[in-house]
A = this chain, B = another copy of it.
């Protein structure tokens, strides 16, 4: 999805895309991270907090009506206002009857040039939940989480057969020529590996387009970002079964079969042999050498 300066227009585009996806057979849909606005974290700007909204709130109410009308499960990223001073990068989960099944609050918050998320987002405090979808369980993590094996593993242990990663990642224009291909490849590789290591589907909707963080005409100076699209779905053995382009808006559809999760985990029984007696030090920041 490409996101424009007008939040309401982005919401209505998202609604139209959901309806189009349903028309092509989708029963579960996930939108990209923070799709309601351009990616405002390119700068640290207090005015942007005015874009935050509660859950439930206007955006989730709009999509709840769509979910109910079309009997579709929706994963809807929201810049969540939880309280004065407490804002989250979140995703609301809406069941096919329009009820709010729950929410995920991004746990790993990046902070890099033009990705100043630590300024805006309080780290999540809901852990790594999964949600009931079609008799199984589906999880959602957000963008920077995608580089970490721990949340992917915890989603699998919590029953996820499918994990969505709504994302807003792209190239710094001045780095694209030298590092662009390697960065994109690493991003796809690390998430395919979550599918492999856990025997589950991974689905990653990203945004496309060059942005200067234009929110209602309020732009960020500087080189901007080029979001690299390339949304994809990997099966439980890490094979990419659907993939979008780098530069065009697309509906990306894939079939997800829980029997494939069972089959892959029988043939590659990694979960059987985990050394849970020896993993405790993973909760340490660093293990100083003896």
Max chain B C-beta neighbours (<10 A), residue from A109, A190, A284: A190
Q: Which residues of B contact A273 (CB under 8 A)?
A: 108-110, 144
The answer to whether B112 touches A269 (Cβ under 8 A) is yes
With an 8 A cutoff between CB atoms, is A130 at the interface? yes
Given contacts A282-B153, A289-B137, A289-B158, are A182 and B147 in contact (CB under 8 A)?
Answer: no
Chain B residue numbers with a CB within 8 Å of A182 are 237, 239
Q: Is A252 on the interface with B (CB-CB < 8 A)?
A: no
Interchain CB contact under 8 A, A270 and B148: yes
Once A149-B197, A238-B185 are accepted as A-B contacts, the answer to whether A285 and B274 lie under 8 Å apart by CB is: yes
Copies of this polypeptide in the complex? 2
B282/A150 in contact, CB under 8 A: yes
> Chain B residues with Cβ under 8 A from A110's Cβ?
273
Instruction: Report the nearest B residue to A154, measured CB to CB.
Output: B281
A186 located at the interface, meaning its Cβ lies under 8 Å from any Cβ of chain B in the complex: yes
A280 and B278 contact, Cβ closer than 8 Å, known pairs A149-B149, A149-B197, A193-B192: no
Nearest chain B residue, comparing its CB with the CB of A193: B193
| In the bound complex, CA of A134 to CA of B281 (Å) | 25
Assembly CA distance A107 to B108 (angstroms): 29
A84 an interface residue at 8 Å Cβ cutoff? Answer: no
Known contacts A196-B190, A197-B149, A237-B186; A284/B275 CB under 8 A: no
Find chain B residues with CB under 8 A from A180 CB: none
Collect the chain B residues with CB atoms within 8 Å of residue A159's CB.
Answer: 287, 289
The answer to whether A283 has its CB under 8 Å from any CB of chain B is: yes
Say yes or no for A123: interface residue by CB 8 A criterion. Answer: yes
Residues in B neighbouring A190, C-beta threshold 8 A: 193, 196-197, 238
- Centre residue among A137, A185, A238, A279 by max chain B CB count within 10 A: A279
Residues of chain A whose beta carbon lies under 8 Å from any beta carbon of chain B: 107-110, 112, 123, 127-128, 130, 132, 137, 144, 147-154, 157-159, 182, 185-186, 189-190, 192-194, 196-197, 237-239, 268-271, 273-287, 289
- What are 20 A-to-B residue pairs whose CB atoms are below 8 Å? A107-B278, A108-B275, A128-B278, A144-B273, A147-B268, A149-B153, A149-B197, A157-B281, A157-B282, A157-B284, A182-B237, A189-B193, A189-B196, A190-B193, A190-B197, A192-B193, A277-B283, A280-B283, A282-B282, A282-B283
